[in-house]
A and B are shown apart, each in its own frame.
Chain A
Amino acid sequence: MAALSRKWDPLFVLVLGSLVFSCKGDVLKTSNDRTESISATKIEESSPQAADLGDLRQSDEAESNEDRKAFTPPPPNDQFQEEMVIRPLYSGDIYASFQFRTQWDTDFLHDGKKVSHYRLFPKSLGQVLSKFSVRELHISFTQGYWRTMQWGQPFIPSPPGAELWVWFHHTVTDVDGNWKELTNVLSGIFCASLNFIDSTNTVEPSASFKPLGLGNATDHRFLRYATLPREIVCTENLTPWKKLLPCGSKAGLAVLMKSEKLFHSSFHSQAVHIRPVCKDWQCTSTAWELRQTLNVVFDLYTSGQGKKEWSLFKMFSRTLTEACPLASSSKIYVDVTDNPGGELFDLSPSSPLISTAVVLGDRRTYSVYDLTKKETFGQLRSLNLLLRWKGESDDMLRPPLHAERYVSGFGLQKGEIHTCLYNSHPYRAYPVLLLDSLPWYLRLYVHTLTVTSKTRENKPSYIHYQPSKDRLRPHLLEMLVQLPPHSVTEVTVQFERALLKWTEYTPDPNHGFYIGSSVISALVPSIVAMDTNSTRDRPLFSSFFPTKEESSYFMRVYTEPLLVNLPTPDFSMPYNVICLTCTVVAVGYGSFYNLLTRTFQVDEPSAPLAKRLANIIRRLRGVPLL
């Protein structure tokens, strides 16, 4: 039995790999047939939007681009949507997630022609995409760690620090060179230390990161993945990020992004995702999608004297007055799933629009506020959402998968990394892909790798291991582990801490070295049927990871980054060490030299001084010498 299941394991890797993200036409067709019966996402909203928007856009162009009147106006081949989701968390915190989506119907990779007209799509990113032949680009900057057990799952997960992963176009010959230049350019665009990404922290994962957009590229030679766990995210990263928005921070949802409030939070994550997508559901033409997301968790419970209430003004010290004029849709969603009858909390002003969407394997209900409509803002011409709790909420549904990681052992010689994977599903077992990228100065011993679940050995069915090269390449460990239902699976591996050259340490060497998060990717069994049509009009937050099948959805979990101490030399005395060691070598050389070049001779002591003087006098006097 065991042998049989092991036989099927490689096949499973392939199936999972192809299922996760690929966007093949035939799969798409079959799923389209089914959409009628599923109707997982149901959005009750008006359709006259499009006409409205057309007017808006034209009037806006007329106003702002008077000087460009001489040119023929380009056809409006791009559109912009903005959206905010507010989810009250069970811990009392508030989770606010912004998503801005710019879709651009151009294809500068296939056409080969140069694109010089940019409208909504930021030119700085467009040029980067075409210069480096980027197929997909995902970059995130995160401050703080997402606590899955307290907060549930985020809409778009991200590890602490900076994360960058890029799929290059398959025509690129020098991928490493492009990657190097790209990281430096992005470092300039986002004012971040991405220029510290080099070969020592870049890996090519074989299975964990598949393209999220069009195309089922599987050749991981065109993929580069790097994290900087120590990167600190602050205002200087937010400002360039805001500048990429068509409205900047002048109008629309972006007015809420005041850095003094955003960074006074438990968790802050901003990201940019660029990928090619289908323009329509038949996928006849493609478009570039730029998604800018910003996730923030406010701890209003403790700072608000234990009162569970929040408002837009309390969170952002701003209220909303208008949508971004360039946006084709601008909405705020508030998660009211747990409050069907209004007994748990009051939301004011209340909204007549209710939307349900299948998000992360669960059907959720949202109150929708459409900012493009005048009546949303009411008499005061400003929208300040306010929520007051009336009762106590019950326990949160445990997320089906979460993970934690720690280093065990003492001393500075060796250690052991433990990764615990929790499958909370009561009866379904599912496989997860675990990716670990460890820097070379933790010398990993892969023969000490053990995977145990329920006190029994759980042999990974697929292991991809790339050993490190000193000062050149990190370790890459990827494996496919089957998680039994309702269990904890512990993955341990031993390592040795290297002594580095004194110039290789960080400025505060005794603080320790940050080791990036492990990445756990899984297809998790879903409670309700997932919506498999990727082109239907759904809320942005529910449609980031494409879904291939109804019964499961894709989930990515990041573990904590580790802080590992290494033995340190004494930084104050390089001169002393050089002098002392050279002295010892010289002692060796000197004594051998002495013995090699000299010979033994009988020591004929010279006469004492007095005697010699006396002899000189005696010689002068002509008497016999002494």
Chain B
Amino acid sequence: MAPKQSRNPELIRGVGKFSRSKMYHKRGLWAIKAKNGGVFPRHDPVAKPSPAAAKPSKFYPADDVKKPLLNKRNPRPTKLRASIAPGTVLIILAGRFKGKRVVFLKQLSSGLLLITGPFKVNGVPLRRVNQSYVIATSTKVDVSGVNVEKFDDKYFAKKVEKKKSKGEGEFFEAEKEKNVLPQEKKDDQKSVDAALIKSIEAVPDLKTYLAARFSLKAGMKPHELVF
């Protein structure tokens, strides 16, 4: 239900436009009285459900036990900066891909940003990145042809392997299996990038721009640069 709008607009904090008698008329209290024979209707108090007879506890602790404080925290994904919108070109500032210019796709429920290079252009795959490690530029790419519905945090979770027996000879073989990227992920990358690369090639120089890394040169002052 929408919050009730007051019929008495505030002129200044604490001072309404209409007097008590005017408000009495506006709220229709006269009509309520008239309907009820000249007095305000009285309603009998609602019968409160009496609590079922609680059995006296058998055990009371010797010292008072403190109850933990109530935690009303309602976690939600990080607030997305106004400059970041689907299709924005971002500059990654840390990690393996620092300096790379990358296309933003969507914000995941954990708050991290889903990005892609595209992979063919600059080698950055579908990846999650934190908003704090990113500079948003004002360049935008058209992402209307890209479907990112299926990607969420679970897609990027690490695969949990079952522990096998601890035979010494088996250690070396087991480690080699992990590093292959499943074909499904490669196909996802290709499908996302196909539409993106088309819209990137429509803008002159944008492909070479995304392929190049960003770096600060002499005379560039980050606080004065317009990104």
- A and B: bona fide binding partners: no
Residue numbers of A with Cβ under 8 A of B are none
Residue numbers of B with Cβ under 8 A of A are none
